[in-house]
Amino acid sequence: MGRVNTSSPFLNEVIAAIRVRHYSIRTEKTYVGWIRRFILFHGKRHPAGMGATEVGEFLTHLAVAGNVAASTQNQALNALVFLYKAVLDRPLGDLHGVIRAKKPQRLPVVLSREEIAGLLRHLEGSHWLAACLMYGSGLRLMECVRLRVMDIDFDHQAITVRGGKGAKDRVVSLTDTLKRHLSSVRNIHAKDLADGYGEVWLPHALARKYPNAAREWGWQYVFPASRRSTDPRSGIIRRHHLDESSLQRAVKIAVRKAGIRKPASCHTLRHSFATHLLERGMDIRTVQEQLGHKDLRTTQLYTHLLRRGGNAVVSPLDHAPGSGRA
C-alpha cells in the first residue's frame, strides 16, 4: 500500500480502509474531502462521538445553506455512510428529517448537427478524437478516457464499455476514426517499453492474477497521457490516461470559438448523440442500451427535446393579425 500522507491519524485510518478495498483514487480524494468537511462542520468533534443526528444536520446544511446540487449531497452521504460502516463499524441506518437537495428538472442541453461540426472543427489530436467518440458512440467523459485498446473491436465496429455507471458493462457502436490513432499510441507504448517502463495501471485483482498484463498492448489506454507520471499510491512510474480536465477545457474553448451560445460541455455530446438517434427514428430501447441507462424513463427525457421544437407546435403568433410585418 502506498504512503498515507495526511496530518490526521484518523483520516489516515480512513484512507487505509479505502485502499484495502481498492477504491479508485478519485473516490479516495472525494470521501476524505467530505469526511474532513463533516468533522470541521461539527467543531472538530471526533466522528466516533457523533452519529445519524449529526450526519443529518450536516446534509441539511449542505442543502439549505450550501445550496448544493442533489448529486453533491448524495456524494457527501455516500462518504459518511462509508465512514460509519467501514471505519467505525457503526452503520448509520435510516436518516430521518434530512432536507434533501432538489434535483433540478431541467432538459439537457443538445447541439444541432451544424453546432457539433463547428465544435469539432476547433479541436485537434486526441481531444478531437475523444469528442468524436463521445458524440459518435454516446460515451460519458470518464468512460471515454478510460478506454483500453482491448475494448475496441474493429471487426464488429463495437466498443465495450467496462465498469460504466452502476458498474455495468455495455457494448456501443464504434465510429470509424480510431485505427490511425491507435498506430501512434502503439509507437508511444513501444518507446515506453524501450525506456524500461510501459506499465499501465490495472485494477488490483487483475494485477495480482496477471502480473505481466500491465505491460501488454491490449491493456494500454486508447487515450494515453502526454507524459509518464508517478502513481501517488505505489510510487510506480506509469503512463496514465488523458487527464479528463484537459479534455473538458478543450471542449469548452472549442464551444466558445465556434460561437455556440449554449452552455455546452463534454456531456452535451452524449446528450446530442441520444437526441440525434431518436430524431433519425432509432428505437428508444436501443438508445437506452447504447447509453447504458438502467431506467427507460431516463432515456425518455430525450423525447421531450424532440417535442419541444421543430414542427411539434405551431406558434399562435404565426396566425395573429399583423404577424407578417417586418
315: cell is 406558434
CATH number of the domain to which 20 belongs: 1.10.150.130
31 belongs to a structural domain: yes
Tell me which long-range contacts 7-15 makes (C-beta under 8 A, separation of at least 24).
Answer: 8/36, 10/46, 10/47, 11/35, 11/36, 13/87, 14/83, 14/87
186-199 residue pLDDT tens: 999 999 999 999 99
39 belongs to a structural domain: yes
State the pLDDT at residue 192. Answer: 95
State the pLDDT at residue 34. Answer: 97
1 belongs to a structural domain: no
173-228 residue pLDDT tens: 776 678 889 999 999 999 999 999 999 999 877 888 888 999 999 999 999 999 99
Catalytic residue status for 302: yes
32 belongs to a structural domain: yes
- Residue of 36, 100, 228, 267 marked active site: 267
Q: Does 85 or 206 have the greater pLDDT score?
A: 85
135 belongs to a structural domain: no
Quick one: pLDDT band at residue 253, thresholds 50, 70, 90?
A: very high
64-74 residue pLDDT tens: 988 888 889 99
For the chain, the 3-state helix, strand and coil shares in percent, each to the nearest 5, are 55, 5, 40
Residue 169: pLDDT over 90 = no
State the pLDDT at residue 217. Answer: 96
12 vs 89: CA distance, rounded Å = 16
Residue 312: pLDDT over 50 = no
- Residue of 127, 140, 146, 239 marked active site: 140
Catalytic residue status for 165: yes
Across the range 275-291, mean pLDDT stands at 91
- Residue of 148, 165, 233, 252 marked active site: 165
- Which residues are CB-neighbours of 56 under 8 A, at least 6 positions away? 95, 96, 97, 98
Picking from 26, 56, 75, 42, the residue whose alpha carbon sits closest to that of residue 240 is: 26
Catalytic residue status for 140: yes
State the pLDDT at residue 94. Answer: 82
Q: Give me the chain's average pLDDT, please.
A: 87
Residue 143 CB burial class (10 angstroms; 0-12, 13-18, ≥19): buried
Residue 246: pLDDT over 90 = yes
46 belongs to a structural domain: yes
State the pLDDT at residue 90. Answer: 93
Q: Does 179 or 89 have the greater pLDDT score?
A: 89
- Residue of 170, 238, 270, 276 marked active site: 270
Catalytic residue status for 44: no
Quick one: pLDDT band at residue 87, thresholds 50, 70, 90?
A: very high
Residue 270: pLDDT over 70 = yes
- Residue of 31, 135, 221, 302 marked active site: 302
Catalytic residue status for 319: no
294: cell is 438502467
326 vs 322: CA distance, rounded Å = 9
18-52 residue pLDDT tens: 998 888 888 999 999 999 999 999 999 999 999 99
Q: Does 172 or 114 have the greater pLDDT score?
A: 114
Catalytic residue status for 100: no
Residue 310: pLDDT over 50 = no
173: which strand partners? 158
18 belongs to a structural domain: yes
310 belongs to a structural domain: no
Are 225 and 242 in contact by the 8 Å Cβ rule? The answer is yes
177 vs 23: CA distance, rounded Å = 33
Q: Does 105 or 128 have the greater pLDDT score?
A: 128
276: cell is 440525434
Q: Number of structural domains, the chain?
A: 1
Find the domain containing 14 and state its range.
9-87
Across the range 286-301, mean pLDDT stands at 88
Residue 60: pLDDT over 70 = yes
Picking from 290, 232, 248, the residue whose alpha carbon sits closest to that of residue 32 is: 232
288: cell is 437506452
List Cα–Cα distances, 148 to 19, 163, 185, 201, in angstroms.
Answer: 23, 12, 11, 11
